Structure 1
Amino acid sequence: MAGILPRELILEILSWLPVTSLIRFRCVSKTWKFLISDPYLVKLHLERSSRTPQILLLERQRYKSQCFLAGLDSLPCLIQNPAPSSCGRILPCPEPYKYYLFGSCNGLLSLHDSLFTNQYEEHWVCFWNPATKHCSRPSPRLRLKYGGIGFHYDVNFGFGYDDKRNSYKVVAMLLDWNRHQMSVWVYSMGDVRWRRSLMTSLTFLNIDSNGYFLNGTINWIGLSSGEAKCLSYDLNNDTCRCFSVPEFIPENSGFPSMGVLNDCLCVCLDIERTVFVVLALKDVRDEKSWSRLVCVSYQTLIMSPYYYKLRILCMWGDLLLLAYSNWDANNIIITFNLKENKIERTRTYYKKFPNRIFSCNYVPSLILLT
């Protein structure tokens, strides 16, 4: 084929094929392997795959994590019957990273593991491409030494892509409770060490654990000086800023959670334990661009507002897939029709250990790991 069609046309054709097919074609010959590894094809394929992202559901149990992938073309199936056995694939996290999957970006998933002793704690990460079944080597270890009895850190991670430097990065946000200082450490894929990006006297208590990547920034939600805030770290210029969340008042609201829906940064919260609200930030660099995306009463949802955080897993047209855990640690998944303001389906999954279900966008890609 290479002798009949120009190389540019071959790459154009290949860019429309699924990753699974391209992985098989790489085994045909050295020529095909070289073609499918071409950086131009990898980038072009990613751009086109990003137009039809998939939904990744992460089920995090006390001792391990597993992923359930459901393609966008199967979202109707996921909405109608959101069970791992009925739609999509189960992807167990690769050994030994059984504990914490915290981010997804351009087809790569970021995994975290840690070690704790009496004198220090260590954290390290790796990157996993489920489509190519490749997992990177572990990063260098980020060692945090303890300063005495009662000394501890609050550590939270985020994963994203710095398009300015063409680099995938993990950001570790460290809150030193004893010194009342916060520092940000950054690891770029392939680097030999973690780099401390900044240190500030700002104290930010993260609520939702994961950092969410959107448009070159990684974002967390938490409390600062007793007020609900979003903390946003810009990967392009290594700056950090805090901004307020409208409508959220700690005295009359439950703990909020964060996510990304329809290319917007979203915050889920309840108001006075009666109404479930989702706020959307259209431009993550403009805190004035907040708007209401969802507003529905717990009475309409036929659930108690005191269960574990209600959150949106995904949105397809007017249908929302919501999840929460009840007192028995069962996962309850609700299919809610936003337009008609009614529940279409409720499913309960019984689990031996307490767990939580999260979601994020996922795009199968040919991105290579280092």
Structure 2
Amino acid sequence: MSDNASVSYDFLPDEIVTQILIRLPIKSIITSICVCKTWKSIIQNPTFISTHLHHSTTTNHLLLFTISSLSDQIYALHNDDDNDFTEHTRFDFLVDSFTINPRFRVVATCNGLVCLSDDIFGHTNQFYLWNPCVRKYVKLPYPNVTFDNRDESIHTIGFGFDPKINDYKVVRMVSLWDDLDCKDRPKVEVYTLSTDEWRMVTPVLSPICILNYIETPEFVNGAWHWIGFRRNEYFVLVLDLGYEVFREIPLPELLDYNRKEDCSIELSSVYGNSIALFHRSDFRGFLNIWVMKEYGVVSSWTKVKTFTEHNPGVDLPIAVGFRRNSQLVLKVQNLKLISLDLGKQNGKDLGYQNGKDLGINTYTGFDTYTFVGSYVESLVLLDKATNGAVTN
């Protein structure tokens, strides 16, 4: 054989090649693109990407940790099924040099995509869809709804997958407010990845209410969920991803909420396709965890845990989210993260102790931003011509 002769891989049927490739680690799959044109064509085929996603979802259980400070940001994947909670890999999100805010808030993760917003330290209406595994991102066009006076507007953003049209959607709701009172119905716009465009949702369908711009909506059962407020009443506002219509879910009747005190109500998703409620008061020194045992059934709201402190506001934990095994992730003592089994009442240190241990530069008086959410490695965006490529 000539030294210049190339190796041929065409002796294997495409079906066999597909079954081999789909079981490889994702880094090996990416490397295999360079083996030959046939393999590249197979791997970048939308059917292969979809099949790989299904396989990865059932076998690949990871948690994404994101911790940000004024000068640093870390994205780390951990094995959620590992008792030692070992770190799987870390990523850097590198964007163009013209980005005003280089630190991003993770809005949500879905099928390997991470939706990022630049509103941690103020916002410029810039959003990204990023797949760290394939090192590609899409920079979304600027939304339609903007306001010159940011002090009078509140915006919130959500992200999810619509199986009806096999497409990814980003929703953005913008409200005008005056003295914690909503002036009008929120303006709602939806971005779809396939069209790369924002479009307005019929305004008459959105209720008059205020949403917390800091809170990211939880995506459960094909719908986004927010905590909404109107006329001294709090409720769960739900927007169906496919039909793009609103509905409401009442909060627990026993929920004791006083707006005059330092209270907060936040939503979280729970494995098992339901929602949870984090009701916290630094003033009174408690954190209540509520879970809707049966999704959509108001009577199934159940208080599953109460944390109290003798010295209100001191060392009161912050609920971050839930793991696949339904354990609750709490942030204590600034950056220390623990995983708590609500049934056995025992906790496990996840190894995140402080900013220095993580390589994060923190500053006195500055509370770092922490995100914890499920993640699955995927090839989504690999077949797309994106307007940005990340090189780590």
Distance 1:60 1:249, change over 3 A: farther
Residue correspondence of structure 1 range 1-370 to structure 2 within 5 A = 3-51=10-58, 52-62=60-70, 65-74=73-82, 76-78=83-85, 87-95=87-95, 96=99, 98-113=103-118, 123-146=125-148, 152-177=152-177, 179-191=183-195, 193-199=197-203, 200=206, 202-206=208-212, 208-246=214-252, 247-251=254-258, 254-263=263-272, 264-270=274-280, 273-274=285-286, 276-280=288-292, 282-283=294-295, 286-288=296-298, 290-292=300-302, 294-298=304-308, 310-315=318-323, 317=325, 319-324=327-332, 330-345=334-349, 348-350=353-355, 351-352=362-363, 353-368=366-381, 369=384, 370=386
Shift of 1:257: 1.9
Shift of 1:189: 1.3
Equivalent position SS for 1:88? strand
Equivalent position SS for 2:94? coil
Q: Count residues with an aligned counterpart.
A: 348
Equivalent position SS for 2:23? coil
TM-score of the two chains, using structure 1 as the length reference: 0.81
Shift of 1:152: 2.1
- Between the aligned residues of both structures, percent identity stands at 23
Q: Output one character per residue of 1:88-139: Cα deviation in whole Å (capped at 9) or x when no partner.
A: 333233224523321211001112237x99xxx8523221100001112442
Shift of 1:58: 1.8
| 8 Å contact from structure 1 (residues 255, 309) kept in 2 | no
Q: Give the distance between the partners of 1:270 and 1:154, measured in 2 at CA.
A: 22
| 8 Å contact from structure 1 (residues 278, 294) kept in 2 | yes
Shift of 1:227: 2.2
Q: Give the distance between the partners of 1:280 and 1:187, measured in 2 at CA.
A: 30
In our comparison, the structure showing a higher alpha carbon Rg is: 2
Q: Output one character per residue of 1:186-224: Cα deviation in whole Å (capped at 9) or x when no partner.
A: 111143532111324511232652122223212222433
Q: Give the distance between the partners of 1:180 and 1:317, measured in 2 at CA.
A: 41
Q: Output one character per residue of 1:266-294: Cα deviation in whole Å (capped at 9) or x when no partner.
A: 222248644532313543xx243744373
Q: Which runs of 5+ in 1 are unaligned?
A: 79-85
**What amino acid is aligned across from residue 36 of structure 2 in structure 1?**
S
| 8 Å contact from structure 2 (residues 174, 187) kept in 1 | yes
| 8 Å contact from structure 1 (residues 102, 111) kept in 2 | yes
Q: Output one character per residue of 1:229-284: Cα deviation in whole Å (capped at 9) or x when no partner.
A: 2121111111122221214231299312222221332222248644532313543x
C-alpha RMSD of the superposition: 3.3
Q: Which runs of 5+ in 2 are unaligned?
A: 1-7, 356-361, 387-392
Partner in structure 1 of residue 358 of structure 2: none
Distance 1:8 1:265, change over 3 A: farther
**What amino acid is aligned across from residue 45 of structure 1 in structure 2?**
H
| 8 Å contact from structure 2 (residues 173, 186) kept in 1 | yes
**What amino acid is aligned across from residue 34 of structure 1 in structure 2?**
S
Distance 1:243 1:47, change over 3 A: same
**What amino acid is aligned across from residue 118 of structure 2 in structure 1?**
D
| 8 Å contact from structure 2 (residues 167, 194) kept in 1 | no
**What amino acid is aligned across from residue 376 of structure 2 in structure 1?**
V
TM-score of the two chains, using structure 2 as the length reference: 0.77
Shift of 1:6: 3.4
Q: Whose RCO is larger (CA < 8 A, sep 6+)?
A: 2
Partner in structure 1 of residue 359 of structure 2: none
The structure whose residues are more often strand, as a share, is 1
Shift of 1:344: 4.9
Q: Give the distance between the partners of 1:72 and 1:105, measured in 2 at CA.
A: 16
Shift of 1:156: 0.6
